[in-house]
Amino acid sequence: MKISKRRVEYSHLEGNLRLVSMTDEERKELAKQHNTEKWVIAPNLYFVEFSLFNRNYRGYGIKNVNGGIEFINPLYMKNPITLDNKGYVFVAHSKDDSNKHCCLFWEFTDYLAYLSIQKKHFLNLPKDCDCFIMSDVRNFIPMVVDTDDYENIYMFFPNNDTGYTIAKTIQNRNSKHVHDCSLLYAANETLHDFAHAYLEEVNK
């Protein structure tokens, strides 16, 4: 099975797209694929099943703010793709609007890596933050506008030209409140790559 990294419209999907809650055992198995533990697999992640061009696909995903799905099958794909409506993903730390700290991620695999690192305590990362996952450069402007009121903005973008440009743009817009965390994983392109390599080593 091969899925290209491009946006897939619901109008191309055959039949119903199904979101299924994960059991405890399924979280454990998914966590094993990421060299982490089942507590990392956030409750807002779902198994996703759909058909496209007469082929069936199954993986997992998370809903974005516009009703689309950020989807990945880690056995066949390196990066997530967006099913239907593009949009950033928002994960609130609590139900009220009092949080003044947020983290910005490129993809939701980086968000999972962040959760894993937090639990292991081998890096001092910001805690108790709302989380925004950009997923696509087209989501940049709405995500940035919705983070303007936070007192502290922690960025976890890739160590490549795209990541540097995004981080620099946000810093120029809101320099007093922005913290670039990419130096913590400077030897790797993404936070996910860093966490995967680290956990693979310690779990030997």
pLDDT in tens, 139-150: 999 999 999 999
CATH topology of domain 89-202: Dna Topoisomerase Vi A Subunit; Chain: A, domain 2 (3.40.1360)
Of the candidates 147, 142, 156, the one whose C-alpha atom is nearest the C-alpha of residue 174 is 147
Is residue 151 classed as helix, strand or coil in its secondary structure? coil
pLDDT digits (tens, 9 = 90+) for 24-46: 777 777 666 655 554 455 667 78
Mean pLDDT score of the chain, rounded to an integer?
80
- Going by pLDDT thresholds of 50, 70 and 90, the confidence category of residue 167 is very high
pLDDT digits (tens, 9 = 90+) for 62-88: 889 998 889 888 777 888 888 888 999
Residue pointed to by tokens 């450069």: 137
| CA 92 centroid distance within chain | 13
**How many beta carbons lie within 10 A of that of residue 134, not counting itself?**
23
What Cα–Cα distance (Å) separates residue 148 from each residue in 52, 54, 114, 158? 38, 44, 22, 21
pLDDT of residue 122: 65
pLDDT at 160 over 70: yes
Domain coordinates in residue numbering, the chain: 10-83, 89-202
The strand pair at 69-72 and 81-83 is best described as: antiparallel
CB 168 within 8 A of CB 162: no
Q: Side chain identity at 174, as an amino acid letter? A: N
Give the whole-number percent of the chain exceeding pLDDT 90: 35
